[in-house]
């Protein structure tokens, strides 16, 4: 069954790749195609494919590794030039809008689900808030949308989930204590802080040391381009395993390692992270396919309208209002602020956080978070997926992208004439 599932996933991915240009016209990205296939092939009383998550410990580690690689790639691909150029906007989004969004998600959950423990709702807020631009990847590549907005979204998407990760761990640890009828929250919080500290230490140690060695080896001609790609792939794996061995959290360590190695990556070949990026893409697409079965397990099993209303608010006003507030006073127009507030799609990070919370919390709380996560991601895929192309057309009509300034080669040629 496992081999058949892998064959099916590979076949669907191949079919999407062959038709990717045509499917992009209907905003059908690879994650959406894999999700639709997963829902279709795991539904019904006798579905063609069924995945058994019986080995919870092994499944949890596999999910954590996927998240570790994803966070590492996100951290390494954040353009430093954009951060320097847009430091005011980025600082407002990550330092102001993100905490406000977490607080708004928690307060909204408290209003809709008053019978759930507070720490469970706090964990839920960290699950539904992280951004994932993959379901709407065409937006950040669409030249009709101003480059400034696309660059800011790229930076925010690259750093958002890594910043939320330690908060997620803290809330889940406290939620476990609350559901276990234990009053020892201090110990749970200290354990979470200790795990984050070990993760920080492991990430800094691995990231900086590997970056220093790699950059110098490349500068002195000791290594090859293909070898650097393998070396970069080994960095998040080393950070994850070292942190886990020390008692820390692996995916936080991988994110920190990505942040620390990023300056050295600019002195390596441009494709140094490509192998890791391709592997992350493949693993996350397989996760989207598995998410299709989770949708069938949760979505059709009955749910309350409160879950739908909360999901709608979580992917719209819960983000839009904080973003609009913190960007007051910047040189962004109202339309640009609305665009940044709206474009907050939820995706694989929310899925992974939701799965980890489900595996670590007692059944009632885990099932609750899983169900809300499923509806939230589905609502986001529909709203953000369907709106991406109309938004691009709107910008294309009203504000065409200015031509890029000519490079030095073009200027030199013009001077020669």
Tens digit of each residue's pLDDT (9 = 90 or more) over 17-43? 888 777 766 767 778 888 888 888 888
Domain assignment present for residue 340? The answer is yes
Grade residue 100 by pLDDT with cuts at 50, 70 and 90.
Answer: very high
pLDDT on residue 411: 41
Domain assignment present for residue 338? The answer is yes
Residue 315, pLDDT above cutoff 80: yes
Q: What is the CATH number of the domain that holds 152?
A: 1.20.1530.10
Nearest by Cα to 139 from 130, 152, 126: 152
The encoded tokens of residue 199 equal: 């993760």
Distance CA 47, CA 4 (A): 13
Q: Supply the pTM of this predicted model.
A: 0.83
Lowest mean pLDDT among 139-153, 163-177, 321-335: 139-153
Q: What is the mean pLDDT of residues 243-250?
A: 89
Per-residue DSSP letters for 130-158? ----GGGTTGGG-TTS-HHHHHHHHHHHH
Residue 358's alpha-carbon distances to 99, 165, 176, 181, 312, in angstroms, are 23, 16, 11, 18, 21
Mean pLDDT (the chain, rounded): 84
Domain assignment present for residue 361? The answer is yes
Residue 308, pLDDT above cutoff 50: yes
Q: What is the mean pLDDT of residues 284-293?
A: 86
Scanning 19-146, the segments in alpha helix (DSSP H) are: 20-24, 30-41, 56-76, 80-85, 87-92, 98-112, 118-128
Lowest mean pLDDT among 38-47, 55-64, 198-207: 55-64
Q: What is the mean pLDDT of residues 62-85?
A: 85
Domain assignment present for residue 67? The answer is yes
The encoded tokens of residue 292 equal: 């299709």
- b (16+ CB within 10 A) / e for 155-181: bbbbbbbbbbbbbbbbbbbbbbbbbee
Say if CB 152 and CB 82 are below 8 A apart.
yes
Distance CA 108, CA 99 (A): 14
pLDDT on residue 412: 45
Grade residue 414 by pLDDT with cuts at 50, 70 and 90.
Answer: very low
pLDDT on residue 320: 95
Domain assignment present for residue 114? The answer is yes
Distance CA 113, CA 117 (A): 9
Lowest mean pLDDT among 281-290, 293-302, 306-315: 293-302
Tens digit of each residue's pLDDT (9 = 90 or more) over 107-157? 999 999 999 999 999 999 999 999 887 766 667 677 788 888 888 888 888
Domain assignment present for residue 326? The answer is yes
Domain assignment present for residue 19? The answer is no
Q: What is the mean pLDDT of residues 231-248?
A: 93
- Name the DSSP class of 344: -
Distance CA 224, CA 211 (A): 15
Instruction: Report the domain count for the chain.
Output: 1
pLDDT on residue 245: 92
Domain assignment present for residue 40? The answer is no
Helix, strand, coil distribution of the chain in percent, nearest 5: 75, 0, 25
Nearest by Cα to 32 from 278, 345, 259, 353: 345
Say if CB 171 and CB 193 are below 8 A apart.
no
Q: H or E element: which one contains 413?
A: helix 408-416
The terminus-to-terminus CA distance of the chain in angstroms comes to: 67
Say if CB 198 and CB 243 are below 8 A apart.
yes
Residue 287, pLDDT above cutoff 60: yes
CA-CA-CA-CA torsion sign (250, 252, 253, 257): positive
- Name the DSSP class of 346: -
Cα–Cα–Cα angle for 272, 277, 278, rounded to 5 degrees: 110
Length of the chain: 417
Residue 330 phi, psi dihedral angles, 5° rounding: -85, 175
Residue 254, pLDDT above cutoff 90: yes
Tens digit of each residue's pLDDT (9 = 90 or more) over 373-408? 999 998 998 888 777 777 777 776 665 445 445 544
Grade residue 105 by pLDDT with cuts at 50, 70 and 90.
Answer: very high
Residue 95, pLDDT above cutoff 90: yes
Percent of the chain whose pLDDT exceeds 90: 33
Domain range enclosing 282: 60-401
Say if CB 156 and CB 90 are below 8 A apart.
yes
Computed on alpha carbons and rounded to an integer, the radius of gyration of the chain in Å comes to 22
Distance CA 279, CA 234 (A): 12
Nearest by Cα to 121 from 133, 113, 129: 113
Say if CB 379 and CB 315 are below 8 A apart.
yes
**Three-state DSSP class for residue 46:** coil
């Amino acid at each position: 069954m496992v081999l058949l599932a892998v064959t099916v996933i590979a076949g669907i991915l191949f079919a999407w790749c062959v038709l990717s240009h045509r499917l992009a016209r209907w905003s059908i990205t690879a994650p959406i195609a894999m999700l639709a296939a997963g829902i279709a092939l795991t539904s019904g009383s006798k579905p063609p494919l069924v995945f058994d998550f019986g080995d919870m410990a092994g499944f949890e580690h596999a999910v954590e590794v996927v998240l570790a690689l994803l966070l590492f790639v996100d951290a390494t691909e954040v353009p430093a030039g954009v951060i320097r150029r847009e430091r005011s906007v980025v600082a407002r989004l990550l330092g102001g809008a993100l905490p406000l969004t977490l607080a708004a998600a928690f307060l909204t959950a408290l209003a809709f689900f008053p019978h759930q423990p507070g720490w469970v709702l706090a964990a839920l807020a960290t699950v539904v808030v992280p951004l994932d631009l993959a379901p709407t990847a065409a937006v950040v590549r669409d030249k009709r949308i101003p480059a400034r907005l696309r660059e800011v979204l790229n930076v925010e998407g690259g750093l958002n989930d890594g910043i939320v990760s330690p908060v997620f761990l803290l809330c889940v640890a406290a939620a476990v204590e609350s559901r276990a009828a234990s009053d020892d929250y201090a110990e749970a919080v200290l354990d979470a802080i200790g795990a984050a500290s070990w993760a920080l230490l492991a990430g800094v140690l691995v990231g900086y040391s590997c970056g220093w060695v790699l950059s110098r080896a490349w500068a002195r001609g000791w290594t090859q381009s293909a070898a650097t790609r393998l070396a970069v792939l080994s960095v998040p794996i080393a950070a994850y395993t070292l942190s886990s061995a020390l008692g820390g959290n692996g995916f936080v360590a991988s994110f920190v390692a990505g942040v620390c190695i990023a300056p050295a990556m600019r002195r390596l070949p441009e494709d140094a992270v490509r192998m890791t990026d391709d592997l992350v893409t493949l693993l996350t697409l397989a996760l989207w396919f598995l998410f299709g079965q989770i949708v069938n397990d949760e979505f059709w099993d009955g749910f309350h309208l409160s879950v739908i209303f909360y999901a709608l608010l979580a992917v719209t006003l819960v983000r839009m209002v904080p973003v609009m507030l913190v960007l007051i006073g910047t040189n962004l127009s109202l339309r640009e602020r609305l665009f940044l507030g709206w474009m907050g799609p939820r995706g694989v990070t929310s899925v992974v956080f939701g799965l980890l919370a489900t595996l670590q919390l007692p059944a009632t709380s885990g099932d609750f978070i899983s169900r809300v996560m499923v509806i939230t991601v589905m609502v986001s895929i529909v709203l953000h997926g369907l709106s991406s192309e109309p938004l691009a057309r709107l910008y294309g009509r009203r504000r065409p992208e200015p031509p890029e300034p000519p490079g030095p080669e073009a200027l030199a040629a013009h001077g020669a004439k």
